[in-house]
Structure 1
Amino acid sequence: MNYKVLYVDPPWSFNSKKTGGSMKSGAAQKYDVMDVESMKQWDIPAICQDDCLLVMWYVGAMPKEAIELAEAWGFRVVNMNGFVWDKETKHGKDFFGMGSITRASTESALVAVRGKTGNIIKDRSVRSRIRAKVGEHSEKPQAFREAIEKLCGDVPRLEMFARKQTPGWEVFGNQVEGSIEIPFKRQLELGVVA
């Protein structure tokens, strides 16, 4: 299937495996991480429609890497803060997270496109900021999937690096059943398709 929307939460690799007060809160302690060069090797254009939207979460300290990954996948970045998660604790207070220089209380997803934006966006009333409670490590609120559905309509959608199956979405990732397979560029060059 070729998708009109890709919703991605990459497993960014950091220099430090252990961060945070407990020294067990780093991403590498929770799931497999990947370096940017490895993620660039997926043949993402092979699974996209000509006109396609990419919504990709990125780490505030790695904007350059996020742009490079989006471009390697054949997209042009149009908004570094296409979606902003205003994080709230389970008790309704402002979240006080880790960060580079300042403590993070928000997280951003860039928005990038391939093809014509007018053939992708169906509802221009969708706002970029959503205030929502934090869940498990790196878990993103359902409200963002709903916003993307409103933004683009009922089109073929893929959530990459998903941790759960969401109705109406195909999934890719090693933490969820029913994952699709995405070929690597090298496999295609050799004539091997996964």
Structure 2
Amino acid sequence: MPRKKYNTVIADPPWPGQGGEKHYLTLRVSTLVEMGEDINDLLEDDAHCWIWCTNGTILAAHRLLEAWGFEYRSMLTWIKPRLGVGSYLRNMSEHVLLGTRGNAPVRFRAQGTWLFAPVQEHSHKPEEFHDIVRRVSPGPHYLELFARRPFPGFDVWGNEVASDVTLPHWPVPSDAPDAEAKK
């Protein structure tokens, strides 16, 4: 039986060294890169990819986007209305990189590059973000990787949610050989 193919994928990778270890399992960037082959099997040739990153992981996110076969196109910045941590500047934003491959269309060309939204619990992304993805990126099949909660209209994969899909070599992130246990 053929597998469902997705037109758009969102990924909120469990980046190492960003404090996530206190909240969930993290993976090395090399492991995230290795996952690309199985992820690509789930995607259409013409597709969009949105990858969340912090200021400290932005270069790794570019690397991951490219390793998964996407060309960087733009960045959406989530402006957080609270003072965060930081060694040089206090972080009050997160970013999501948008990459494309093939001839995947942009459905809405008037989307701005920033989003002002409240902060909720750790790693909870703004609810409005999924609406932006549906407005900008092709459907009808949307996938969210490393999901922590279900969202209507999106199939999900992750170790904190009942997954709708499977990755053959990656049952869930907690099964990766280098997963760092939540402390």
Measured against the shorter chain, the TM-score band is 0.7 to 0.9
For residues 8-19 of structure 1, what are the structure 2 equivalents within 5 Å?
A: 8-14=11-17
Cα displacement (A) at 1:153: 5.1
Where structure 2 has 5 or more consecutive residues not aligned to the other structure, the ranges are 171-183
In 2: Cα distance, 1:50 partner to 1:153 partner: 12
The CA deviation at 1:66 is: 1.1
Partner of 2:34: 41
TM-score (norm 1): 0.80
Deviations 1:75-134 (A, max 9, x none): 11122xx2110112xxxxxx1011241001111111111112xx3211112222111100
Which runs of 5 or more residues in structure 1 are unaligned?
Answer: 17-25, 89-94, 186-194
- Specify the SS of the correspondent of 1:62: helix
Q: Which residue of 1 is the match for residue 179 of structure 2?
A: none
- Alignment TM-score, normalising by the size of structure 2: 0.84
1:183 positional shift: 3.0
Q: Which residue of 2 aligns with 1:104?
A: 91
Q: 1:76/1:154 Cα in 2 relative to 1: closer, same or farther (>3 Å)?
A: closer
What amino acid sits opposite 2:49 in the alignment? L
Q: 1:83 aligns with which of 72, 76, 81?
A: 76
Deviation above 4 Å: which 4+ runs of structure 1? Answer: none
Q: Is the CA contact 1:56–1:109 (under 8 Å) kept in the aligned structure 2?
A: yes
The CA deviation string for residues 21-51 of structure 1, in whole angstroms up to 9 with x for no partner, is xxxxx21010000001111121221111011
Is 2:115 aligned against 1:130?
yes
CA distance in 2, matches of 1:68, 1:107: 17
Does the Cα contact within 8 Å between 2:66 and 2:72 map onto a contact in 1? yes
1:32 aligns with 25
Count of aligned pairs: 165
Bigger radius of gyration among the two = 1
Q: Note if contact 1:173-1:179 (Cα within 8 Å) is conserved in structure 2.
A: no
Q: Are the aligned partners of 2:13 and 2:52 in contact in 1 as well (CA < 8 Å)?
A: yes
Q: After TM superposition, give the deviation of residue 13 of structure 1 in Å.
A: 0.4
The percentage of counterpart residues that share the same residue type is: 31
Give the Cα–Cα distance (whole angstroms) in 1 for the partners of residues 137 and 69 of structure 2. 19
Determine if the alignment matches structure 1 residue 53 to structure 2 residue 48.
yes
Q: 1:7 aligns with which of 6, 10, 15?
A: 10
